[in-house]
Amino acid sequence: MTKVSVLKCEEYNSDLIYKVIKQSLKNIGFEIPKNKKVLLKPNVLGQRKPELAITTHPAVLDALCKLLKENNNEIWIGDSSGIASYGGTKTAFEISGIEAVAKKHNTKLISFEASKERKEIMDNNAKIIKKFILAKEPFMVDLIINVPKLKTHVLTKFTGAVKNMFGCVPGGGKSEKHALAPNEDMFSQLLLDIYQNVKPQLNIMDAIIGLEGEGPGSAGIPKKVGLVIASKDAVALDIVASKIIGYNPLDIKTIKYAIERGLFSGINNVEIIGEKNFKIDFKKPMKKAKMVSNLPKPIVKFVFKLTSFKPYVKKNKCKRCNICAQVCPVNAIKLDPYPKFDREKCILCYCCHENCPYNAIKLSYNNLIKVYRKIKEIIK
């Protein structure tokens, strides 16, 4: 059985979090190493303040740095944000408060897209991409501590420990991966292609305040959960965290496919230490249309596009910053003068919605589907 620690932590107080993490590590049987090089991999989606609950809170990293420093470890903090342009992650570190933590503890702060270090991966067991490029820094340390944020996700339903390793793809490489794997199934398999090549040895989830609704970006809503969740295994942590917010873990495709690949033995192979029956009412993202796979592919594609929700701009909120166009993996957005979507090119990956700092990209069904859904509700 794989142990997962679930402990209450009601606020972002570094001293309190330090005590909770220390107990969490005892619960799962993990000892902090001595005199090692350690990479902390937070979730730094974009240039957002910590109170928005979009990025890993700096107080969690502060507590981890304190623990690691006690054993004379060299600490690196590294990530690549969703904004591909040079300097995107550097600014995100500053705004999120992570840069201040790095300076306090004299740690090395690494923007993966700005770093020249790269690692070429060749994996014949991968499902979507056999050959790809990752940041080299995760392969230059003795220990990776994955520090994800508890959030919903409009494409994958839930973003947890496995998905957080997607940040090891430098800069614009993430947009390319979205283009290669545009739907939930393919993207989840791609996430596992990456995860099985850069597996963290420890996973600590910031679930003190999570993000519900149309996450993982500014359209999501901060929600107090009051937990720190920890495990040596990222899939085990995701199983427990997804259940806490009301999902069947097998509905999360990264979990389902990880088990199918043999990366984890099954959803029942988990032992919870601490809050065993913790549940919270967590607002989920909009439900996506289901593919009718037994139809011819052109018809499947047509039906999927017709019945899926699509991104639209809220002009009253849009600042015309052009970030949506920068992050679009298929160049389907142009400013004219507000974002204009090329529906033929759009692959419905929702990167524009995820990365918009002003919550100016909404997701909505077309009018025909709206009418159908209303009729369906009335009939019920």
In the chain, where the domains are located? 2-274, 297-379
Global confidence as pTM: 0.91
- Mean pLDDT over all residues of the chain? 91
- Give the per-residue pLDDT at 8: 98
| First-last CA distance in the chain | 43
Fold category of 297-379 in CATH: Alpha-Beta Plaits (3.30.70)
pLDDT-derived band at 376 (thresholds 50, 70, 90) equals: low
Each residue's pLDDT tens digit, 178-228: 889 988 999 999 999 999 999 999 999 999 999 999 999 999 999 999 999
DSSP-assigned letter for residue 276: T
> In sequence order, which ranges of 266-350 are alpha helices (DSSP H)?
297-307, 323-327
pLDDT at 151 over 90: yes
**pLDDT tens track for 263-283:** 999 999 999 999 999 999 999
Mean pLDDT of 22-37: 98
H/E stretch holding 378: helix 367-379
Report whether pLDDT(262) > 60. Answer: yes
Identical fold at 2-274 and 297-379? Answer: no
Q: Token digits for 177? A: 């991966």
Predicted confidence at residue 372, as pLDDT, reads 47
* Spatial CA neighbour of 54 closest among 214, 171, 268, 186: 214
* CATH 3.40.390.10 given to domain 2-274: no
Q: Which of 82, 83, 79, 84 is nearest to 42 (CA)?
A: 79
User: Per residue in 296-320, pLDDT tens?
Assistant: 656 555 555 555 788 999 999 999 9
